[in-house]
Amino acid sequence: GAGVSQSPSNKVTEKGKDVELRCDPISGHTALYWYRQSLGQGLEFLIYFQGNSAPDKSGLPSDRFSAERTGGSVSTLTIQRTQQEDSAVYLCASSLDGKEADTQYFGPGTRLTVL
Amino acid sequence: QKEVEQNSGPLSVPEGAIASLNCTYSDRGSQSFFWYRQYSGKSPELIMSIYSNGDKEDGRFTAQLNKASQYVSLLIRDSQPSDSATYLCAVKGTGRRALTFGSGTRLQVQP
């Protein structure tokens, strides 16, 4: 079946602009995660959605970052007033139900470059 | 102290040898552990998951977990040049659903 998809694959923007990144999880997966990976760094957790529960926003680095998940499926990560330090690969992952032994599957990522 | 620590490498092994990748974690209550492989410019791909102390084998890969020592490892037997990639150790901390990743070990398999 289809895996996690993300769009756009690449995004170049100017400092101060807002950007929206989209994630379409694997069909039937109720849990969705956003991570980011800066050059040469490990993956950093941003936000987690599970079904209709309130999202875990504990990883968002500032209030310029927000995310929503509509209808329990597609998610959009929004970065307002982008800064150069926001440049990174933004990875979305989904899993079946978010439980302890659940496996997360990653999408191809969106490479964001802030000039 | 980082929550999940890995040697950044590069770890260089000859083709056909065993590659041993190590990871330590700080949250003693962690129950789920994962190894992901990441080729340059690509997204992480799950290699192995392990939840109980001991060894878990899948083909050429063996994951080892020692919760008392807070240590998890990945062995790759008969290493191939196609195994050259960065290997990421990921841990689910106590009560958490998101993964905490180490910074990865870069493996180079020399033909």
pLDDT digits (tens, 9 = 90+) for B47-83: 999 999 999 999 999 999 999 999 999 999 999 999 9
Residue A45 and residue B100: Cβ atoms within 8 Å? Answer: yes
Residue A31 and residue B97: Cβ atoms within 8 Å? Answer: yes
Residue A33 and residue B45: Cβ atoms within 8 Å? Answer: no
Contacts of A46 (CB under 8 A, 6+ apart): A33, A34, A35, A36, A59, A60, A61, A65, A67, A77, A90
Tell me the C-alpha to C-alpha distance, in Å, between residue A2 and each of A70, A71, B35.
19, 19, 22
Contacts of A99 (CB under 8 A, 6+ apart): none
Q: Which residue intervals of chain A are DSSP H helices?
A: none
- A7 to chain B, any CB pair closer than 8 A? The answer is no
Of all residues in chain A, the one with the smallest CA distance to B48 is A103
Other beta carbons less than 10 A from residue A61's beta carbon = 12
Q: pLDDT tier at B95 (50, 70, 90 boundaries)?
A: confident
Q: Nearest C-alpha of chain B: how many angstroms from A41?
A: 6
E strands within chain B? Answer: 4-5, 11-14, 19-25, 32-38, 45-50, 54-58, 61-66, 71-76, 85-92, 99-101, 105-110
Higher pLDDT, residue B23 or B96: B23
Helix, strand and coil percent figures for chain A, each rounded to 5: 5, 45, 50
Kindly list the residues from chain B whose CB atom is less than 8 angstroms away from the CB atom of residue A32.
none
Q: Is the pLDDT of residue A101 over 70?
A: yes
CA distance B36 to B58: 14
pLDDT tens, A14-57?
999 999 999 999 999 999 999 999 987 789 999 999 988 889 99
Q: Nearest C-alpha of chain B: how many angstroms from A6?
A: 11
Out of B32, B45, B90, the one facing A100 most closely (by C-beta) is: B32
pLDDT value of position B1: 66
Q: Is the pLDDT of residue A1 over 60?
A: no
pLDDT tens, B1-52?
679 999 988 999 999 999 999 999 999 999 999 999 999 999 999 999 999 9
